[in-house]
Amino acid sequence: MVIDYSPNELMAVAGARELRDSQVVAVGLGLPVVASFLAKKTHAPNMTILFELGVIDPEPVDCGVGLADPRVWYRAKVLSSFVDILGSVLHRGRVDVGFLGGLESDEYGNLNTTLLGDPKGQFKHMVGSGGANDIASNAKSTIIIMRHEARKLRKTISFITSPGYLHGNDSRKQAGLCGGPSRVITDKAIFGFDPDSKKIVLLSIHPGNTLEDVVNTMDFEPIIPEKIPFTEPPSAEQLQIIREEIDPGKMYLG
């Protein structure tokens, strides 16, 4: 049986599969919300979800209009503050996974959410960091989820808001930062990182895309293994949970 699904749904499912039971996950706005609640409702019931504004393990009525919407806080185990989540939990090394989106990412997983520049020297200021820099700097690992376009996957990004592996090799460790990005999930593929060079590595291609579709829409060339599998499509159960329970209004899925 062929199951129809959107690129956003596949991205959310792929993100959920990277999460494990009993992990503590700091969740950013957007598809990370859908992915995290999908993991918790399926294979990771004991996972702890943190929102940087001070919310721990909510049971949302729906996705609301953002993380500051009280409908997303329903039945939360804790309603606290930025200071508690970022200071008492994250900076003490208690977060296993940071789940982030971004405007731009480079081949080392450095993220930009601060400003966009063009060759003429014109800059457009964006939302900035929020807690993303803290999460990327202090979580034990980071998952990045974003659109797959050459203007987003860039050789040189306009600004490093949230550090990945900085300039590769041991530069992140030398900067005194723990962890680092483990996955980049786009609407065309899933990437990991080479353990030595820390450069991005192509792990799988989403069904309906080719290797040329992936590499021709990037501003840098990833490490490409000899054999590249296709990403496993979402199951009917996963799609039902996403569509009927997590985001029926398509706030994040579009």
Ramachandran area for residue 30 (φ above 0: left; ψ -120 to 50: alpha; else beta): left
- What does the block give as tokens for 34? 């859908």
- What does the block give as tokens for 243? 């569509």
- Where b means 16+ CB within 10 Å and e means fewer, 167-193 reads ebeeebeeeebebbbbbbbbbbbbbbb
Number of Cβ within a 10 Å radius of residue 217: 18
DSSP 169-195: TTHHHHTT----EEEEE-SSEEEEE-T
52 flagged as catalytic? yes
**Nearest C-alpha neighbor of 129 from the set 89, 151, 102, 148:** 102
- Of residues 52, 149, 226, 237, which has the active-site annotation? 52
184 forms beta bridges with: 144, 191
Which residue carries 């949302």 as its tokens?
60
- For the annotated catalytic residues, the residue numbers are 52
